[in-house]
Structure 1
Amino acid sequence: MSNTTPSNQPSHTAPADLPRSLTLLQGTALNMIDMVGIGPFVVLPLVIKTLGGPLFLWAWVLGAVVSLIDAFIWAELGAAFPKAGGSYNFLKISYGEQKWGKLLSFLYVWQTLIQAPLVVASGAIGFAQYASYLMPLDEWQRKAVSGGVVLIIIALLYRKIDSIGKIGLVMWGAVLLTLGWIIIGGLSNARIPLSETLQSMGSVSGGILAAGLGQASVKTIYCYLGYYNVCHLGGEIQRPSRNIPVSMFISIVGIAGLYLLMNLSVVSVVPWQIAQDSQFIVSTFVETLYGAGAARLATVLVLLVAFSSLFAVLLGYSRVPYAAAVDGQFFGIFAKLHPTRQFPYMSLLFLGGLGFVFSLLFRLGDVITAILAMRIVIQFVGQAIGLLLLHRRRKATEFPFRMPLYPLPVVLAIGIWLFIFFSTGLTFMLSGLTVIGLGIITFLISSGVRKQWPFSE
């Protein structure tokens, strides 16, 4: 922790110095490439195996519903407080900037130092897994590929935000091209009637469905995460009170439609009994339809999508430690902007470097579950409760965007996130709570040394 306060920071570290260069289209593109990534391509078989047969489609539906409900919370907060750092600012303002808000926002940054590199690592590990379809890779070679991808992403992000927005649009085009090919190719060459798949979805009792839905939804919700990436870039979005909410809802509805169509397309060609054991489901799918040459091309496109997602993920998260440091609540070095390119380069290098290390150490399945378990309590549940507190203290006119049927979406979001948290399993629940506990201890030690709240008024 640093004793540096915002008033003592050099002028070049002020949040206002981040230029508002990202348009609605660029913000939406960065959101969508963040959401897709490698996730749906490696998670699809895992979800089928968890629920069995066509029932896996319900997990994708639930993931979309959870994301849409939670997006109302992000939309209200993002439109009202469009600053770099997203949840860091939301938690600080919601719980009070002088007391509990300090603790909650600190815990969010504390978690970000671990879970953001884990997100980067999950994409890089998935990238290496799919790359092994093109050529057999030993374990050390996979790690070399995953680590190398992270280093390339860091190099690409080491530039001005306006050029990053243009790069994001190109990557978005690759995402749409890949998903479009899968959807059109499968549905136009279906070998298993869709009527059979859809009929099977409704042929199971609610109790049996609920038993496996929570565990499967942990994986599918991971594939939707990123709809709020535009909030982390809030200080760089044009017309934020309008563009932040619109960007999120366009992203969720668009990606949900693409995911469902992609899943229907795949199981219309590859029987679910085979799909559930495939490490390269998209490659297997395309090879079944068009042969090995087309499958290799599809694999290259999947790798490009995964690469694009890592680009958006690291871009958004690099703004979080920066925002906390500018606020005097984190190491002052993270508040530094590049002297000529005006981006938080120290934050980018730290998170990217840790993501590089994690990509060499962990397995994909464990990383996905750990990411969600670590974020739910502070970020998602804490943020939802914080919005309820804000509505008690502030007038409706202070919220440029207002959700319909308030507070029902907030209450639903809290209940669903807690259900998902318990579905991660005892080991991952305890690991998430342990990280929070260590963060509280660190915060108390730091506050005691600096004689700040709760040890001083």
Structure 2
Amino acid sequence: MTGPQRLPRKIGLFQATAINMSQMVGIGPFVTIPLMVAAFGGPHAVIGFLAGAVLALVDGLIWAELGAAMPGAGGTYVYLREAFQYRTGRLMPFLFVWTAMLFIPLIMSTGVQGLVQYLTYLWPSMTTGQGDIVGIAVVALAVLLLWRKVESIGKLAVVMWTVMLISVTAVILAAFTHFDADMAFTWPDHAIDLGSNTFWLGFASGLTIGIYDYLGYNTTAYLGAEIKNPGRVLPRSIVYAIGAVMVVYLLMQIGVLGVIKWQDMTDPDNIAAQSVASAVLETTMGKSAAQVVTVLILITAFASVLAGLLGGSRVPFDAAHDRVFFRSFGKLHPRHRFPMLGLAAMGVVTAGGFLLARHIGTSATHPPLAVLISLLTTVMVIVQSFAQIAAVVVLRRRQPNLTRPYKMLLYPLPLVLAGIGWLVIYGYADKANPGVHPIEWSLAWVGLGVVAYLIWARFEKVWPFGPKEVREEYLHTESAEPDTDVVVS
């Protein structure tokens, strides 16, 4: 990527960490605490957030090593392109872009759905149709705000991050002013029964919900081409964000359980099941305070959508330059220098996902957000999570001279732990969501992507219908140029 299409590096450590945290602490914990309690069947749901933090941290170390060594626009796309080009040409990066164009905006759609869900606390008479209109308007506003220079977005992210901290802090402080330790720490009999299949089903569901709440720690990896001093800033932005958010989540979870009965959070007709943070504020400080904090939560939710669309819109950008995706996605705005089509496409899919969530999964057993979370994670696991674990190993063997400003601690232990965590999520997905079939849907989508790749590869005359092009773009040695192109027949 050279010449006028190069993205400017404008995002520093503070802004990068703020972007990650804004994406992580969006509407997620405010709507998933009741889901987590329902999965575990009691206040021991805190285990789910702890397990999610561990998985996020070990997986974050994978992102840190890969992102610091290859700070390009597109994140996973770059890593899979570099690691798997030797045997399968452009198949793996193509499949990632194929799946990312679906799962990234659908993650944002859950944020929009949660925003509308909390808005019902302020607007109890809102109809389904009115909620649909509000959600679409939210997506349109996010795209409009992102239609500008990246340095402006960095400043906006810091403002949103500040609002996020205020809203989360308000909920935590309110909860601990009326905290009942017995409610929070009195667990049901046999809550931890390692020999029970019910416990492990709850754990798998809780881990899925937990890692969903932490998703966003990798947002800056998608913005690698726009990060100042990426070898230092990118790994720190990931680790700092995970550590800070872990503390926030644990305080919030414990605080909420010490104010609201966990049984109320499993009752779909109770306000605690729909707007648990608002219920905490109403219980502790009254209706007016609850309304104020609900507004802050809505702003926090919007910030997560904004940050997610910002990072996700960069995914197809680098792919387009390498002719692994539609070439029109590689065009930048002539004035503000951001990927136009990627942002527009992500916005459209986000809006579609939001509408989908509004009209599926209406039961207490399978609420819309729980169904979407399961579908998103199973699709993401195959082409992103598992593939990146393999990419670290492959690149250490294939490109030992690759400059690695950060190398993960205790290698390969983080890879093993991350692999186990993702296997639990994927392996239990069908059992935890009977009738939804997330594993089958994920395999079908990836299979369709393989078919699409073969059609595209035939048209472009690349592997397996042409030679492999090995580009060791980030491999810098004393005797090699920064970009080395090798054609393998």
Match of 1:310 in 2: 305
Alignment partners' CA distance in 2, 1:12 and 1:343: 12
Matched, 1:44 2:33: yes
Change (3 A) 1:44 1:199: closer
| Contact persistence 1:55–1:201 (CA under 8 A) | no
Aligned amino acid, residue 406 of structure 2: F
TM-score (norm 1): 0.94
Q: Percent identity?
A: 37
Per the TM alignment, residue 99 of structure 1 is displaced from its structure 2 partner at its CA by 4.5
Matched, 1:206 2:206: no
Match of 2:315 in 1: 320
Which moved further from structure 2: 24-33 or 203-212? 203-212
Question: 2:464 is matched with which residue: 425, 445, 454?
Answer: 454
Give the alignment of 1:437-452 within 5 angstroms.
Answer: 437-452=447-462
Change (3 A) 1:207 1:297: farther
5+ unaligned residues in a row in structure 1: which ranges? Answer: 1-5
Alignment partners' CA distance in 2, 1:215 and 1:255: 20
Which moved further from structure 2: 46-55 or 19-28? 46-55
Alignment partners' CA distance in 1, 2:418 and 2:144: 37
Give the alignment of 1:390-405 within 5 angstroms.
Answer: 390-395=395-400, 398-405=403-410
Question: 2:381 is matched with which residue: 376, 379, 385?
Answer: 376
Match of 1:3 in 2: none
Question: 1:331 is matched with which residue: 326, 329, 341?
Answer: 326
**Number of corresponding residues:** 444
Question: 2:4 is matched with which residue: 12, 16, 20?
Answer: 12
Give the SS at the match of 1:416.
helix
- Which runs of 4 or more aligned residues in structure 1 lie more than 6 Å from their structure 2 counterparts after TM superposition? 198-202
Aligned amino acid, residue 432 of structure 1: S
Aligned amino acid, residue 29 of structure 1: A
Alignment partners' CA distance in 1, 2:254 and 2:302: 25
Change (3 A) 1:59 1:328: same
Alignment partners' CA distance in 2, 1:405 and 1:116: 30
Matched, 1:386 2:391: yes
Question: 1:107 is matched with which residue: 78, 95, 108?
Answer: 95
Matched, 1:131 2:119: yes
- Cα deviation, 1:412-441, whole Å, max 9, x if unaligned, reads 211211111122216001111111000001
- Cα deviation, 1:144-185, whole Å, max 9, x if unaligned, reads 111110000000000000010000000000111111111122
| Contact persistence 1:48–1:54 (CA under 8 A) | yes
Per the TM alignment, residue 134 of structure 1 is displaced from its structure 2 partner at its CA by 0.5
- Cα deviation, 1:118-144, whole Å, max 9, x if unaligned, reads 112111111111101101211111111
| Contact persistence 1:29–1:169 (CA under 8 A) | yes
Match of 2:350 in 1: 355
Match of 1:436 in 2: 446
Alignment partners' CA distance in 2, 1:155 and 1:201: 52
Question: 2:106 is matched with which residue: 103, 114, 118?
Answer: 118
Give the SS at the match of 2:9.
coil
Per the TM alignment, residue 200 of structure 1 is displaced from its structure 2 partner at its CA by 6.2
| Contact persistence 1:99–1:454 (CA under 8 A) | no
Match of 1:90 in 2: 79
Match of 1:408 in 2: 413
Change (3 A) 1:234 1:198: farther
Give the SS at the match of 2:90.
helix
Give the SS at the match of 2:319.
helix
Change (3 A) 1:261 1:393: same
Give the SS at the match of 2:122.
coil
Alignment partners' CA distance in 1, 2:31 and 2:60: 25
Change (3 A) 1:158 1:384: same
Aligned amino acid, residue 422 of structure 1: G
TM-score (norm 2): 0.88
- Cα deviation, 1:69-125, whole Å, max 9, x if unaligned, reads 1111111100000011000000110112x6425111000000012112211211111
| Contact persistence 1:26–1:166 (CA under 8 A) | yes
Question: 1:65 is matched with which residue: 54, 68, 74?
Answer: 54
Per the TM alignment, residue 310 of structure 1 is displaced from its structure 2 partner at its CA by 0.2
Match of 1:185 in 2: 174
Match of 1:143 in 2: 132
Alignment partners' CA distance in 2, 1:449 and 1:340: 33
Which moved further from structure 2: 275-284 or 57-66? 275-284
Match of 1:197 in 2: 185
| Contact persistence 2:44–2:191 (CA under 8 A) | no
Per the TM alignment, residue 276 of structure 1 is displaced from its structure 2 partner at its CA by 2.8
Question: 1:247 is matched with which residue: 218, 232, 237?
Answer: 237
Which moved further from structure 2: 26-35 or 215-224? 215-224
Alignment partners' CA distance in 2, 1:78 and 1:357: 30
